[in-house]
Amino acid sequence: MVLSSQSSRMSTRGRFMTNSGGRRGRGKRMLVAVVPIAALAFVVWYVWSWMTKTSEFEAAQTAEAIMPPAAQVNDAVIGSEGMTSGGSETSRTEAPATTLTVPVEQGSETTGRTTTGESNAARSGSTHAVIGATTSSGQDNSTSDGGSIASLNTAIDQAEKDPVRARVALTRLLEGSALGTADRMRGYDAINKINGVLVFSNRIVATDPYSTVYKVQDGDSLARIAKEQKLNCDWRFLQRINGIANVNSLSVGQSLKLPLGAFHGEVRKAEFRFNMFLGDGEKRVMIASYPIGLGELNSTPTGAFIVRPKSKLIDPEWRNPRTGEQFKPNDPKNPIGERWIGLKGIEPHNKDFDGYGIHGTIDAESIGQQRSMGCVRMRPTDVELVYELMTEPHSTVTIAP
């Protein structure tokens, strides 16, 4: 017998069973409908992803076609506007060729002569750095760059036609460090040849600002002329360049060549050279270059010097400070020769140096060597000329490493 309550539960359980089976049916139908939609969505996503990657690849190929290879990118020039002070790179531009403007004297004014040359800016670490440019140690390289050689050749070729302009161009080249050793020697030889006429002869070139003509007056002597005209040279130099054999034979109205400006010396220890300049500042010109001897063990001091007051001597007496040996004037065995020009340092590191000077020598083989006790040695004929040009207090001597 089935109780009413049991009947009710059974009826309810039947409904539950019937309802559960209906849900399972509907779930299957929904799954069948969803799977194709999901598959279609996956296919669409895959196609879209493949097309996007293809576009990116084509864009990359286009960018590579536009961008040059790294090896073709020009090195930035250190010190140019493409580099900051800290050395960080801000642009990559090749240094263009520049023009070198050489100031040239024309009468009493300065004009300009322009020649084509290479840029002096060297690329750090690059094999294209200018050969012969100044190095961090201040030494010259052994060879010259092409632009400097061309400028040197032009100046040498110009010497006979326009020696004044040629002298200025050569001076600027030799003041710098772009010329190698052999070419510097060529430049020095050209300077000596040019000034053999412009400075050391009685010839006067109209465009030369460093010489003038003087007419001898009644009562004149070479010493008086040098003093009253305030010349920065010894009267013996006037005798030399004017070819005067007898200083007592001057005649009224006689034309004499007089040098204008102060003479200065420069010692280049690395080259064993003594270079003479006429004039001051940027307008100075080189007038002579001589080989010299220097102090043993690199003992010749460096820096700026002036001619020590009342130190210039002819046929000086000398005592060897090491041995105590004494040499009288006119002694042919006197190691310092027949001229002495004392030097006085004017910089903190050399102002207390004493006993240094420029002098002659009786040991010709010591020229180009380090054999003196620190002084600058010169050949007898060269030191005689330097003696006539160096005056106090106007003349200075710079001794460079």
pLDDT in tens, 297-345: 999 999 999 999 999 999 999 999 999 999 999 999 999 999 999 999 9
- Model confidence at 23: pLDDT above 90: no
For the stretch 84-140, pLDDT in tens is 333 333 332 333 332 222 233 323 333 333 333 322 333 223 222 222 233 333 444
Cα-based angle 294, 297, 300 (whole degrees, multiple of 5): 40
Nearest to 100 by CA among 128, 130, 135: 130
Assess contact for 373 and 361: CB atoms under 8 A.
Answer: no
In the chain, CATH 3.10.350.10 sits at 211-259
Q: What percent of the chain has pLDDT over 90?
A: 62
Query: Do 288 and 277 form a contact (C-beta atoms < 8 A)?
Result: no
Residues of the chain with CATH 2.40.440.10: 263-400
Question: Distance between CA 386 and CA 359 in Å, rounded?
Answer: 10
- Cα radius of gyration (the chain): 44
Across the chain, which distance is largest between two alpha carbons, in Å?
Answer: 176
| pLDDT for residue 146 | 78
Q: Hey, is 213 helix, strand or coil?
A: strand
266-288 pLDDT, tens digit each: 999 999 999 999 999 999 999 99
Alpha helices, H only, 81-219: 146-158, 163-175, 181-198
Using N-to-C axis directions, what is the helix angle for 163-175 and 181-198, rounded to 10°? 140
Whether residue 30 has pLDDT greater than 50: yes
Does the pTM exceed 0.85? no
What pLDDT score does 219 carry?
Answer: 96
User: Is CATH 2.30.40.10 correct for 263-400?
Assistant: no
What is the rounded distance in angstroms from the CA atom of residue 156 to the CA atom of residue 282? Answer: 21
Given a cut of 80, is residue 12 above it in pLDDT? no
For the structural domain made of 211-259, what CATH number should be given? 3.10.350.10
